[in-house]
Structure 1
Amino acid sequence: MADFDAQPGRNAPLDSELSSAQLEADEVDLYAGLRGVAGLVADARGLIAVLGEVAEFARRAIPGVEGAGVTLVDSLEDSSSVETWAVTAEFVERIDKAQYVDVHEGPCVTCMQSRRPTVSGSLGSDSRWPHFGGRVARMGVHSALALPLIVGDQVIGAVNAYAHHRDAFGEHAVELGGQFAGPAAASVYNAQLLARAQERTTQLQRALGSRAMIDQAIGIIRSRSGASAEEAFDRLTRLSQSENIKLAVVAERLVNESVRRARARQGV
């Protein structure tokens, strides 16, 4: 039996009404989704590409989904700072904007707080989100399934699934969604780690480039004035402070001017 937070006072659709053929087809779709997110890890794609693929695989893997999105928690902020990074349909983006920006309530917010799947079969009458539910129902969307993405003890985001008709997600859908969310979380987490490593590498390369430019500027000052390396660096620093310009920019300007003068003397 799937463990999830259902809409209070509303009965979910019975799985017994599903045919064996439908159950088998759902299992095939789930397997395809799981195989897809596993491939994302192996491909080492960029973060945005991975999130878009995860959203699309979720739409296919979870029965009843008409639009899906992936939301991430901003790890540099508190847990309430979330943002939708990928959607499979425009209406999902509008729904999640209402959830995160306008009213700060909804199934995704709840599922990340509870760390449990959250289901609603009639958003307009769901007492848990009085401001969110009515707004989304007026968009013609009545069912929601939010699945937390958890790695270790950390909630890194959520997969949000929506449908226009009521009671789209029963226990069967929640169970398959839960099976999908675990591998999806691993793929998203690994993509985040890769993106951060690439960002740190880029920052390091920039820092090394700036350091090389500063060293060149120090050498130019020393050759012109006979100053020591420390004295030349102090001159650069004072110039940076007096003009309120970054040290690397001052150094680059000095190097470029020296090169221009050298070329002028050589008639280049």
Structure 2
Amino acid sequence: MSAFHAVDAASDYPEDEPERAGFAAAADELSNAYERKTSLCAPFVGALPVAGAAVSILGETFGTETVCASDKQAARLDELQIDIGEGPCWQARSTRRPVLTGDVQRGSQSSWPVFSEAIRNDGVGALFAFPLIVGSLVIGAVDLYAREPGSLTETQVEGAEGLAAIAARQVLRKALSESDRYGLDDPETDARLSRRVVHQATGMVLAQLGLSASDALIVIRGHAFSAGRSVREVATEIVERRLDLSSNNPEI
């Protein structure tokens, strides 16, 4: 059987259990990537039937750059999209939804015609992109490519979305760490000014988004940084219910 299966295949068959176990292992690897300084791309390639992966930050808030790429082809595909300003990663970012292109070579992609023409002879059969979303922030996207045309199963799409959500928090941690290094943000000072309100806001966000306390604080900090405000100000608005950082809110 091909590495790709029909999209309508039942996701609860016993043979899906090893695949789900693979996603669980990849999720654990991604969850510790920032602390261990390991690749954000490798878990996607290991858990999904793809040849390569790239993770990129897209937008003005944290800049636009390739965070990682599993190989030269993945790096080229990501860099082309950044240079051209169109492609599946930009589409995933703008729509906040996965972009699943099972056959790249069959006709021009109406949403990104220049990019599809640029890779026509690159030996790419399928492209999949998943947005990197943390709360109300859309940070960037993860791009996956396969050499042969094919589709992802529902289980694989769900698994990739889960991995993208974890990767998004790791990318945000890295971006905020860089801002701290250059003195662009001072979360400790904000926290000291009103530790109680930050604690309350963190509790509300973790309940809303189903995150850990540390990840909920990352969401608050990311929102504050993108809006050019202090953590204390954002926390106060959350506690007073004037601000909801759920992913259903418009992008900042």
TM-score scaled to structure 1, two decimals?
0.60
1:60 matches 2:46: yes
The match for 1:69 is 54
Gaps of 5+ in 1: 1-11, 202-268
Note the alpha carbon deviations across 1:48-107, whole angstroms, 9 max, x for none.
x45xx111112223x211100000124447xxx632221001011111222221x32211
> Which residues of 2 match residues 168-179 of structure 1 at below 5 A?
168-179=151-162
1:119 alignment partner, SS class: strand
2:33 to 28, 40, 50: 40
Summarize the Cα distance change of 1:22–1:200 in structure 2 as closer, same or farther, 3 Å threshold.
farther
Q: Distance in 2 between matches of 1:178 and 1:162?
A: 15
Number of residue equivalences? 178
Gaps of 5+ in 2: 185-252
What one-letter code is carried by the residue in structure 2 that aligns with 1:84? T
The match for 1:87 is 69
The match for 1:24 is 17
Q: Distance in 2 between matches of 1:19 and 1:164?
A: 27
Larger radius of gyration: 1
Whether the aligned pair in 2 keeps the contact of 1:33 and 1:180 (CA below 8 Å) is yes
> Which residues of 2 match residues 103-252 of structure 1 at below 5 A?
103-124=84-105, 125=107, 126-200=109-183
Q: Distance in 1 between matches of 2:28 and 2:79?
A: 30
Whether the aligned pair in 1 keeps the contact of 2:7 and 2:152 (CA below 8 Å) is no
Q: Distance in 1 between matches of 2:64 and 2:15?
A: 35
What one-letter code is carried by the residue in structure 2 that aligns with 1:72? I
What one-letter code is carried by the residue in structure 2 that aligns with 1:111? A
| Residue 40 of structure 1, CA deviation | 2.7
Q: Distance in 1 between matches of 2:147 and 2:11?
A: 19
| Structure number with higher helix proportion | 1
1:54 alignment partner, SS class: coil
RMSD of Structure 2 on Structure 1 (CA): 2.5
Note the alpha carbon deviations across 1:128-162, whole angstroms, 9 max, x for none.
32222233231010211111111121111111111
Q: Distance in 2 between matches of 1:91 and 1:73?
A: 19
| Residue 15 of structure 1, CA deviation | 4.1
TM-score scaled to structure 2, two decimals?
0.63
